[in-house]
Structure 1
């Protein structure tokens, strides 16, 4: 079987192209290994000055992890291996010794955010839809999202993490999930320019090539409702957020409240805990570690499998959350989900 990742050197540019367009380039465990191996190759090659990550097809960079494989697996053994390798890859991209450029064109969600939003140079296009929609499938924003989102302005990250709404180019940049907007039509020219750079051009050279082709994405829609978001999402309890949204009275607040009420109640509570923990986390690795153990708990005894069933397997869009109501979420259960469940992802790190 061929790889679902195309790896090639073009001039001084190492290219990593996700190649599962029919599955929106959803990450399999094998693809995680192939990307990591490609980074090994490019790190060792003195002729490679930068690495560019992109997705094949026009629909998106990556829609997330391969949910079908997780659903089909028994217990948590496969997920533990998959997520440990995936989270280590996310951290490696953040720390990679050469400039990493991620083209977040089209749908970039879940695991797609993990392999792109931690890169040093993050490009969106006019077609980008960047999101962490996991609370809608009984899961949590993982792949380091609980490190990224708390660093967005005000409570924007809390809103994005809980509501799971997609951010276009301007909103993604406003939220700190991307750096520049390059029109899709200009991406090939950018790739050619990056490939023509000297291998020692470094971040400065890569940044200049991007800046020369970047355009103003326009005003961020989220900036227009930031005051509502900051006010309503400042609480540390989900029920308080819902109460504040109801009291606000604006159309945006009403729509957001309706959106939250459709999510898995336990996922909302756990996600808010992890987002608050992420604010004071000492490192990306610390947030990934917390997410890893919480994710295993949710797969083992939470709503994650039911969320996958409703969204991907049966596609009835009628998940049966347990519990079904926020008031029925057991705080002791959530506290347990915040405790370690398996061997650490990053031994020796805190």
Structure 2
């Protein structure tokens, strides 16, 4: 069965399930436009296919998906003539996945970051194994937590989404279950059996409940209540002040401060505002907002500099402009959120 994207992604209907497998293991299943368009085409076909009661989404190799093709985005942004078609397609798909009528089950057994999060987190079910590693590390490369981060992150309990967005921290299955990013936990050795059971049954929820073994998987490592307190301020300056006040007696606060010191002050400021705005918006409106931010990010300094330092040169020495949070003005942040006129992102799955 082909919907495009040959060599990068595969599709099949097995029993009651439409199965999507990302097949770029050497690239850690990084999402490209061919894959986005192919998934969208599969959704077109399967939404009216009576055989398909639910959709199973997985990745080949040691990653579910580690994000997007950052080097390609870097060259595009560096050229001074970035193309936004990929993001239009990707963001429209993110919105569609969050509103798709049939259950989508992401089987996450390895790295899941950035664009990979966007194709997994908006579906109804996210199953993680002990091998799963989740992160939204964008502020460390001068970018922002996109692919719907403005929608799902602020809806996590205990300000956990703000913590993830500002620190870029990596979490494992226990913490993902504790905050709701993961809906079920299944040992890696049992994921194959779970997939077969999903294909054999018309009731995804019943199968997932039967296989859920969160009690046997590693527990949460972070203090979620403490994160809720430390990341509750109504400004980044307030969060920093709370972390500074707590750092001497809190490893968590000290680690968060250390992580945030390496991130782009502009990106963190935009991410904070993005999550504040996203609390009030539905998923489609969040994607419209993120597209506005994206256009400004790809035209600016931070993203190109972040990719240079972290991905290209691997020197990990980005020079951020401005260099401190104090220097980031409200006007500069506000500019990222202004309407794009005729270039607004408006179409989602054929609807406005």
Q: TM-score range by the shorter chain?
A: over 0.9
Q: Which residue of the partner structure matches residue 35 of structure 1?
A: 39
Structure 1 residues 228 and 84, CA, compared in 2 at 3 Å: closer, same or farther?
Answer: same
Q: Which residue of the partner structure matches residue 230 of structure 1?
A: 228
Deviation at 1:133, TM superposition (A): 0.7
Deviation at 1:302, TM superposition (A): 3.9
Q: Which residue of the partner structure matches residue 277 of structure 2?
A: 277
Q: Does 1:9 align with 2:7?
A: no
Deviation at 1:77, TM superposition (A): 4.3
My pick for the range that moved more, 289-298 or 213-222, is 213-222
8 Å CA contact 2:243–2:254 kept in 1: the answer is yes
Q: Does 1:308 align with 2:326?
A: no
Q: Does 1:66 align with 2:69?
A: yes
8 Å CA contact 1:151–1:176 kept in 2: the answer is no
Number of residue pairs the alignment of both structures matches: 339
8 Å CA contact 1:76–1:296 kept in 2: the answer is no
In the TM superposition, 1:156-167 aligns within 5 A as 156-167=160-171
**1:275-327 CA deviation, whole Å, 9 max, x = no partner?**
1111122x111111111111111110140111111222222221111111222
In the TM superposition, 1:66-85 aligns within 5 A as 66-73=69-76, 74-75=79-80, 77-78=82-83, 80-85=84-89
Q: Which residue of the partner structure matches residue 99 of structure 2?
A: 95
In the TM superposition, 1:132-211 aligns within 5 A as 132-197=136-201, 201=202, 205-211=203-209
Partner SS state of residue 257, structure 1: helix
Q: Which residue of the partner structure matches residue 113 of structure 2?
A: 109
8 Å CA contact 1:103–1:124 kept in 2: the answer is yes
Structure 1 residues 76 and 184, CA, compared in 2 at 3 Å: closer, same or farther?
Answer: farther
Deviation at 1:132, TM superposition (A): 0.7
Partner SS state of residue 171, structure 2: coil
Runs of at least 4 residues off by over 6 Å? none
Q: Which residue of the partner structure matches residue 267 of structure 1?
A: 267
Deviation at 1:69, TM superposition (A): 1.4
Q: What is the TM-score with the length of structure 2 in the denominator? A: 0.92
Q: Partners of 2:331 and 2:12 in 1: how far apart?
A: 50
Partner SS state of residue 211, structure 2: coil
Structure 2: state its 5+ residue gaps. Answer: none
Deviation at 1:227, TM superposition (A): 3.4
8 Å CA contact 2:82–2:299 kept in 1: the answer is no
Q: Does 1:127 align with 2:125?
A: no
Q: Partners of 1:244 and 1:102 in 2: how far apart?
A: 36
**1:254-284 CA deviation, whole Å, 9 max, x = no partner?**
1110110110010011100011111122x11
8 Å CA contact 1:76–1:299 kept in 2: the answer is no
**1:195-221 CA deviation, whole Å, 9 max, x = no partner?**
112xxx3xxx10111111111235322
Q: Which residue of the partner structure matches residue 251 of structure 1?
A: 251
8 Å CA contact 2:154–2:276 kept in 1: the answer is yes
Q: What is the TM-score with the length of structure 1 in the denominator? A: 0.92
Deviation at 1:76, TM superposition (A): 5.3
8 Å CA contact 2:67–2:112 kept in 1: the answer is yes
Q: Partners of 1:96 and 1:158 in 2: how far apart?
A: 26
Partner SS state of residue 155, structure 1: helix
Q: Partners of 1:311 and 1:32 in 2: how far apart?
A: 25
8 Å CA contact 2:92–2:347 kept in 1: the answer is no
Q: Partners of 1:76 and 1:287 in 2: how far apart?
A: 25
Structure 1 residues 191 and 226, CA, compared in 2 at 3 Å: closer, same or farther?
Answer: closer
Structure 1 residues 27 and 182, CA, compared in 2 at 3 Å: closer, same or farther?
Answer: same
